Amino acid sequence: MTARDGLPHAPMLALDDPSWTTLRCAQGDARGIPALLAQLDGASGDDCLGEPWQSLWESLCDEGQVFSASFAAVPHIVAILAEAPERATPSHFLLPTSIELARAAHDAEIPAHLIDGYVTALSRLPLLAGLVAAPDWSELMCSAALAATAAATGQHAVAELLLEADDIGAVLAWLRAE
């Protein structure tokens, strides 16, 4: 099956697969993660801080730590973005980006059975960023999409810069003054 971006979905662990209980998240086993991911399907494009996003952030990328469930969740987040780009939120880009940055920073090991899905999902983010780009994007949405593109292409320092810069205009003014 292909999504609106024309690419096939990344291989992913089915939401009803019992092996979610063997994966870990910040709260312990990841048995509750599939229900949170399922809720994303109907989430509004305006709500990137409410539920289920808040619980997903707390479970999958807690204070810069990632877990085996983090790598299983990324293909689902990216697939939901691909299926409904009109409902894109900054968190569709920021959560996978933050997971990738934490993985790289801590040299976290991706479980072997999740590697293909995780890597394939990350590789779709740059194309999806272009697909959902809109002239009325907020600075946060634009920074999130650009950071996701940078992280997906291995440019972790660039992604971190984009995530850390509270005011991109101030950063650009500083760079121009140099």
For the chain, 178 residues long, the average pLDDT of each consecutive 10-residue run is 60 95 97 96 64 95 95 97 89 96 96 96 95 89 95 96 75 64
What's the pLDDT at 85? 86
What's the pLDDT at 28? 96
What's the pLDDT at 1? 45
First CA to last CA across the chain, in angstroms? 50
Sign of the alpha-carbon torsion through 59, 163, 156, 161: negative
How far is the C-alpha of 54 from the C-alpha of 79, rounded, in Å?
Answer: 19
pTM: 0.89
